[in-house]
Amino acid sequence: MVKFGIEFVPDTDPQKIVEYSTLAEQGGFDYIWVTDHYCNRNPYIVLTAIAFATRKISLGTGVTNPYVVNPAWTASAVASLDEVSGGRAVLGLGAGDKVTLASLGIAFVKPLSAIEESTETIRKLWRGEVVRYNGKVVKFDGANLRFRPTREIPIYIGAQGPKMLELAGKIGDGVLINASHPRDFEFAVEQIEVGAEEAKRDLATIDVTAYTSFSVDYDAEKAKNKAKPIIAFIVAGCPPEVLKKHEIPVEDASKIGEALAGGNFGEAFGAVTDPMVDAFSVYGAPEDCVKRIRDLIKIGVTQLVVGSPVGPKKNSSIDIIAKEIIPEFK
């Protein structure tokens, strides 16, 4: 049975996100993922507010990274969230965005080591160990927490490239994959399985999560048009090999990137084609979205995260998902 999550970007009044979160819980969602970016509201404050307003839905960062925030601080924050939520916290951990890190003067070094070492040391801290660790990126000399969670908190690894996907298969309780098309998951699941086999793990124990760009409405055209601004930014940042996989001309993506860089957003959004929307989002009327979700499940996806924009009107789209989509899979 597939699980359903929803992503919230804390770029608006936290109370509004709390309202959306209560709707999501009432509608049968299993997870709430809050993005972590320094220019938005702090994710842990928003997650704590959500924790006090909800009762059963799992709550996680989607995702935080070990460069901006020390893994010991993350261990403390997530353990605290687990405590105040009554055991509902999950940690989404990824290498972060190289451009954002550069804007903060932080070097993007050895991402595989950073994630592997952070995962190992966070788990040690949660077990109550005094951690002395001399890794390639993470270095502790007697770090410890003065409290510990009462359970093993799941760690989900944000992964895109083959090596990070393999690592997630080795060490992650789950994998958060920013993709929406079955073609991308055929590759991703293969890489995760390589890592799982190397670590002698059963792939069935790993929550393979499609962290999608999602847009649903009873009017499929409205849903598609709402997705286009998000897709414009995705396409502009795509490596050529990904564009080639989806048969999208590199020159078309370049034009969109140039328009975005020049602040010509209307031009950029207008240049987004239907094949681009199909490649990089789950969108349309409820039956369209159900069909795509079924295709993803066949490949091995076990959690579907409804990511930005969700739909033309977020609260209405959450209601549509709750009434027309989730019941198809429960």
| pLDDT for 330 | 85
Outline where DSSP puts E strands in 159-254.
174-177, 207-216
Give the 3-state secondary structure percentages of the chain, helix then strand then coil, rounded to 5. 50, 20, 30
Q: Between residues 237 and 145, which one has the greater pLDDT?
A: 145
Q: Tokens for 184?
A: 């991308």
Strand partners, 64: 93
Q: What is the pLDDT of residues 162-178, one digit of tens each?
A: 999 999 999 999 999 99
Q: What is the pLDDT of residues 112-166, one digit of tens each?
A: 999 999 999 999 999 999 999 999 999 999 999 999 999 999 999 999 999 999 9
Confidence of residue 1 (pLDDT cuts 50, 70, 90): confident
Q: What is the average pLDDT value for the chain, to the nearest integer?
A: 96
Q: What would the mean pLDDT of 243-258 be, rounded to a whole number?
A: 94
| pLDDT for 99 | 82
Q: What is the pTM of this model?
A: 0.96
Does position 239 have pLDDT exceeding 90, yes or no?
no
Q: What's the rounded Cα separation, in Å, for the pair 255 and 157?
A: 32
Q: What is the pLDDT of residues 269-287, one digit of tens each?
A: 999 999 999 999 999 999 9
Residue 64 DSSP label: B
Q: What is the pLDDT of residues 175-219, one digit of tens each?
A: 999 999 999 999 999 999 999 999 999 999 999 999 999 999 999
Contacts of 297 (CB under 8 A, 6+ apart): 2, 329
Which domains are assigned to the chain?
3-220+282-328 (3.20.20.30)
| pLDDT for 27 | 98
Q: What's the rounded Cα separation, in Å, for the pair 155 and 175?
A: 9
Contacts of 30 (CB under 8 A, 6+ apart): 3, 4, 5, 57, 58, 303
